[in-house]
């Protein structure tokens, strides 16, 4: 964990960061926008210099910069320990680095950061305290996000390979979203899990369980494997879209900075007036016709 924390801090230093704004007016020090004066506004809020160049009165609004809570969940189950010869980094190590790097950036921006189901931390040492929690709970993790009571309008970052059955994953995601929490899914895969480079006689051993499969010619399974992986990923992405969540795929042979920058920008640009509504039953949908697959 100490080595991963150092790596995460290096990644955070290379990413352009700062206090990510809320993209809405409210209490803060950063200029947001000018808008026309309203009869309910106080004259003290009028920007007279801007108004002097127009026939209208303008009010200067600042960007909302109140502290926000971001929850992290890192899948440290046995399947995340996989690493092929196509990458130098196991999936669980990359997931920890991504989580800690974002915790570092968010803590510097004055945000509250915590592990899902725990207590959020504040202050510049937020990433270190998150690392301590991950190290302490490393032996008690599962492949699915744990049930947790979260405060409204916070955000949740989930790092996993998301290879569990889609139905089970969707139930956990909906339980989080029902608390009016917005989420961001980062699927972390080894490049071999994406390309299936195996050929000839190959033995596949399950990372969780005792299942073993011997393929006489592994290359004959490649097309079917890829099709099944794409279908599984599409189902996860659809579940995220239904909840108005974001979904991102990251491979461990790519730089960690790429995904950190993307997720950080998504946190910066999302509105906060989100309210989750459960999906309508299939029978109520006008598109539903014929038997379900």
Average pLDDT rounded to a whole number, residues 125-136: 84
Tens of pLDDT, residues 46-71? 888 888 888 888 887 765 545 678 99
Give residue 21's pLDDT: 46
- What's the pLDDT band for 118 if we cut at 50, 70, 90? confident
Find the range with the poorest average confidence among 19-33, 102-116, 207-221, 227-241: 19-33
Kindly state the percentage of the chain with pLDDT values over 90: 43
What is the average pLDDT across 156-169? 95
The 10s digit of each residue's pLDDT in 133-162 is: 888 877 767 889 998 888 887 899 999 999
Q: Is the pLDDT of residue 185 over 80?
A: yes
Work out the pLDDT band at 275, boundaries 50, 70, 90: very low
Across residues 30-38, what is the average pLDDT?
Answer: 69
pLDDT higher for 44 or 252?
252
Residue 17, pLDDT above cutoff 70: no
Residue 19 confidence (pLDDT): 40
What was the pLDDT predicted at 30? Answer: 55
pLDDT of residue 32: 56
In this model, does residue 34 exceed pLDDT 60? yes
Highest mean pLDDT among 4-13, 28-37, 103-112: 103-112
Q: Determine the pLDDT at residue 269.
A: 61
- Read off φ and ψ for residue 226, nearest 5 degrees: -60, -40
The structural domains of the chain, ordered by start, are 2-17+66-276 (3.40.50), 31-62 (no CATH)
pLDDT of residue 290: 36
Out of 158-162, 232-236, 283-287, pick the least confident. 283-287
């Amino acid at each position: 964990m100490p080595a991963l924390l150092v790596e995460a801090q290096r990644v955070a230093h290379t990413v352009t960061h700062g206090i990510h704004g809320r993209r809405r007016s409210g209490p803060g020090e950063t200029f947001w926008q000018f808008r026309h004066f309203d009869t309910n506004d106080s004259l003290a809020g009028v920007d007279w210099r801007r108004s002097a160049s127009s026939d209208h009165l303008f009010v200067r609004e600042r960007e909302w910069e109140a502290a926000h809570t971001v929850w992290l969940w890192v899948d440290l189950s046995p399947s995340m320990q996989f690493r092929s010869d196509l990458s130098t980094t196991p999936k669980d190590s990359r997931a920890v680095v991504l989580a800690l790097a974002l915790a570092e950036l968010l803590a510097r921006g004055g945000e509250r950061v915590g592990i899902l189901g725990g207590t959020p931390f504040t202050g510049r040492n937020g990433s270190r305290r998150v690392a301590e929690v991950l190290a302490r709970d490393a032996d008690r993790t599962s492949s699915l996000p744990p049930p947790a009571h979260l405060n409204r309008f916070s955000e949740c970052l989930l790092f996993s390979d998301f290879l569990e059955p889609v139905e089970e994953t969707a139930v956990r995601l909906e339980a989080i979203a029902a608390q009016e929490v917005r989420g961001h899914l980062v699927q972390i895969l080894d490049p071999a899990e994406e390309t299936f480079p195996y050929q000839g006689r190959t033995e596949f051993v399950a990372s969780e369980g005792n299942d073993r499969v011997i393929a006489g010619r592994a290359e004959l399974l490649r097309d079917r494997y890829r099709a099944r992986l794409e279908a599984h990923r599409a189902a996860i992405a659809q579940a995220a879209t239904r909840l108005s969540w974001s979904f991102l795929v990251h491979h461990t042979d790519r730089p960690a900075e790429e995904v950190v920058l993307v997720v950080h920008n998504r946190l910066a640009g999302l509105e906060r007036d989100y309210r989750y509504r459960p999906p309508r039953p299939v029978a109520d949908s006008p598109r539903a016709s014929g038997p379900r697959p």
